Amino acid sequence: MALNLIVKVHPVVLFQIVDAYERRNAESYRVIGTLLGSADKGIVEVTNCFCVPHKEYQDQVEAELSYAMDVYELNRRVNSNENIVGWWATGHEVTNHSSVIHEYYSRECNNPVHLTLDTSLQGARMGLKAYVCVQLGVPTGKQGCMFTPVPVEISCYDPEVFGLQLCQKTMSSSARSAGGSGRSRTVHPMSDFVQVSEAGSKMASLLDQVLAYVEDVLANRMTANNAVGRSLLDLVNSVPHMSNEQFSEMFNSNVKDLLMVISLSQLLKTQLQLNEKLTLLTSV
């Protein structure tokens, strides 16, 4: 079993695990489920998951495996690219029953990954860990297994980044509710131009931080970091070489394309609304 794996988890998986934990039965102290995604060249990318009802006793585990397979087959109809890559459990450690559950998933996929999410907030944070199971023992003796940690990180698609940024704003939202009482944690998606403006302001702020760091290093007020320097060099090399006029022309062209898309979407929305109204009138 190769241990040079990297597990990449998408935010939607974390949200689904937390939601399943909040909806658990009163007698359940932890929740388990199936991880879906893809595995390629030492990278396991977890893009989806679902909960599997189960009960744990002192000497055995009961899980509704037929339910798990039915949900997996239904998910395959929607997204055939998502396969079983392992299983997840809430909690901050591997339990005695984990090896039994892992044995089942070993029959469903090769080298399954075990993911734990600490919903009990040990250490005041929601710890995320990933494990692979390594077989131990001698061929003619007693066999066993050991869960070995592997690196895990959060990976996001662009739409997921936007969703996370929108969710983050609810933490500091000071908007009042419709009744005027209490704080409202509801935010609404911004228009396209507001997003462009906000992205530009954020980029300007990040550039100011980079310039301040470089000036501090050149003035010997801060010790240079080689990793940061290499990242800045890659950033500079990734910027296309163009004049101010070329950049302005490219930017204005993209803005015109954005305006056209917005206009077409508004026209389509108006047409659908008119069609709905006409349908209602003719039915009456």
Chain segment 73-98, per-residue pLDDT in tens: 999 998 889 999 999 999 888 888 88
Is 133 a domain residue? yes
**86: nearest Cα among 72, 106, 63:** 106
The count of C-alpha atoms lying within 13 angstroms of the C-alpha of 8, restricted to the half-sphere facing its C-beta, is 13
182-186, 234-238, 243-247: least confident range: 182-186
Give the domain extent around 61: 6-154
How many other CB atoms are found less than 10 A from the CB of residue 259?
12
Spatial separation of the C-alpha atoms in residues 210 and 234, rounded to whole Å: 14
pLDDT tens digits for range 182-227 = 455 677 776 766 777 877 888 889 889 999 999 999 998 988 889 8
Distance CA 32, CA 262 (A): 43
Check: CB of residue 122 under 8 Å from CB of residue 151: no
Question: Own/partner pairs for 130-136, CB < 8 Å, 24+ apart?
Answer: 130/7, 130/9, 131/94, 132/1, 132/3, 132/5, 133/1, 133/99, 133/102, 133/106, 134/1, 134/3, 135/1
The answer to whether 6 and 151 are in contact (CB under 8 A) is yes
User: Does the residue 179 lie in any domain?
Assistant: no
In a domain, 283, yes or no: no
Count up the domains in the chain and report the number. Answer: 1
Residue 265 lies in a domain: no
CA distance 267 to 83: 40
Asked if the structure places residue 82 within a domain, the reply is yes
The model's pLDDT over 100-119, given as tens digits with 9 standing for 90+, comes to 888 889 888 888 999 999 88
Reported pTM: 0.66
Does residue 107 lie within any of the structural domains? yes
Q: What does the alpha-carbon distance between residue 9 and residue 152 come to, in Å, rounded to a whole number?
A: 7
Q: What is the CATH number of the domain that holds 121?
A: 3.40.140.10
77 in a domain, yes or no? Answer: yes
Nearest by Cα to 37 from 144, 109, 126: 109
Task: Select, from the ranges 16-30, 153-167, 243-257, the one with the highest average predicted confidence (pLDDT).
Answer: 16-30
Instruction: Decide if 14 contacts 48 (C-beta within 8 A).
Output: no
d(CA 55, CA 79): 29
Q: Is residue 263 part of a domain?
A: no
To the nearest whole percent, how much of the chain has pLDDT over 70? 89
Closest by CA position to 32, among listed 60, 9, 61, 54: 54
